[in-house]
């Protein structure tokens, strides 16, 4: 049993978001959709919550209305094994959303994601401070992260 489950607040797009996310990540599925019952706030019969799993991590999405929205203060951090995975996820998650720098984006629902290639931390924490600084400088100029370009920048 997972003890802590991220609970995401949407303004009517919980099911659409869960469908998109479960299509993008392996070992993912929607496990339960509940609907607003009569007599409670919300439109009777409309989707209230969606329980889903992304690569083994459980989430709950709520159609709670316009009262709250996402900010980049909380984001989903994706460790990508290859540049191809970075490219695929970046392209899918950024469609209809907004691009930020350093591998961050906001999807069309407003949820922030960090799409990060494997090896980035090692480059940014290189024992040689000059190499690390060159990698950081290159990263700050990127939106989607390109591991080869970051490696080349670190080398100088």
pLDDT at 64 over 90: yes
Alpha carbons 58 and 44: distance in angstroms, whole number: 26
The model's pTM is: 0.93
pLDDT at 34 over 90: yes
Q: What's residue 150's pLDDT?
A: 97
pLDDT at 37 over 90: yes
- How far, CA to CA in Å, does 19 sit from each of 10, 115, 119, 141? 14, 19, 30, 32
Fold of the domain built from segment(s) 1-68: 3.30.720
Mean of pLDDT values over 16-34: 98
Q: What's residue 1's pLDDT?
A: 81
Long-range contacts from 118-124, C-beta under 8 angstroms, 24+ separation: 118/79, 118/80, 118/81, 118/82, 118/147, 119/147, 119/151, 120/145, 120/147, 120/150, 123/150, 123/151, 123/154
In this predicted model, what pLDDT tens digit does every residue of 39-60 receive, in sequence order? 888 888 999 999 999 999 999 9
Domain ranges in the chain are 1-68, 70-156
Architecture category of domain 70-156 in CATH? Roll (3.10)
Q: How confident is the model at residue 3 (pLDDT cuts 50, 70, 90)?
A: very high
């Amino acid at each position: 049993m997972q003890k802590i489950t991220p609970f995401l607040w949407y303004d009517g797009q919980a099911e659409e978001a869960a469908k998109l996310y479960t299509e993008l990540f392996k070992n993912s599925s929607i496990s339960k959709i509940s609907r607003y019952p009569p007599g409670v706030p919300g439109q009777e019969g409309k989707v209230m919550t969606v329980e889903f799993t992304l690569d083994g991590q459980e989430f709950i999405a709520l159609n709670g209305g316009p009262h709250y929205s996402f900010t980049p203060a909380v984001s989903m951090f994706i460790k990508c094994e290859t540049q191809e995975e970075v490219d695929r996820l970046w392209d899918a998650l950024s469609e209809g959303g907004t691009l930020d720098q350093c591998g961050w984006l906001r999807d069309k629902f407003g949820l922030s994601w960090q799409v990060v290639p494997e090896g980035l931390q090692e480059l940014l924490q290189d024992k040689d401070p000059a190499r690390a600084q060159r990698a950081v400088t290159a990263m700050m100029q990127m939106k989607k992260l390109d591991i080869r370009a970051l490696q080349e920048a670190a080398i100088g």
